[in-house]
Amino acid sequence: MMPREPVEEKKNNSELKSGKTAKAEPDFSDIEDIETLKKLLGEMQAKAEANLAGWQRAQADFINYKRRSEQEKEEMVQFANSVIMLSLLPILDDFERAFVSIPPKLAKMSWVDGIKLIERKLWASLEAQGLSPIKALGEPFDPNLHEAMRQDKGKEGIVIEEVQKGYRLNERVIRPTMVVVGNGEEEA
């Protein structure tokens, strides 16, 4: 004769074979009435809504952070060359002054044309990187674009002389134009 299995073990084995598992019923013995259950449900729903709102805020903050980070990275790449550009601007100024001061006899010589070609190539390279001059002469004075060196006789608030060219790199001013501004007195 075979030993008998305890009845409880048989029940558990049969539940396992059938795919059913014993579920523990929640213990609500301390809850006395429906009103208490409704109150508890309301508290749990409020807590769930607060958690959802917090999660949504965190998700929105992360999306904003990601967008700002991408924008900063793009700006950094765009303006990484500004230090190099600033160091090349005095060379452009020197070229400009040299061409203005060339005597007429030398202006027709081939080596002068060669130097002008070098200057044009330098300009083309810098323009390809986003450098552009700021137009100032005859324009209204704009403190965002111009730096006033002095005032002189001329139409008030209008740039009457350009002392040193200013430049933008991709629409950002990297060197303001140094200018002389009219003070409103008419020239004699």
Task: Supply the CATH number for residue 139's domain.
Answer: 2.30.22.10
Residues of the chain with pLDDT under 50: 7-16, 18, 22-23
**Is 8 within the bounds of a domain?**
no
- Same domain? For 87 and 168 the reply is yes
Q: What's the pLDDT score for residue 11? A: 47
**Is 109 within the bounds of a domain?**
yes
Alpha-carbon span 96 to 47, nearest angstrom: 72
- Same domain? For 74 and 87 the reply is no
- Same domain? For 115 and 174 the reply is yes
Q: What's the pLDDT score for residue 67? A: 95
The per-residue b/e assignment along 29-51, b for 16 or more CB within 10 angstroms, e otherwise, is eeeeeeeeeeeeeeeeeeeeeee
Instruction: Please say whether the beta carbons of 89 and 167 come within 8 A.
Output: yes
Alpha-carbon 39 to chain mean position: 49
Q: What's the pLDDT score for residue 106? A: 87
Q: What's the pLDDT score for residue 77? A: 78
Q: What's the pLDDT score for residue 137? A: 92
- Same domain? For 73 and 96 the reply is no
Tokens of 112: 């002068």
- Same domain? For 67 and 86 the reply is no
Domain enclosing residue 140, as ranges: 81-182
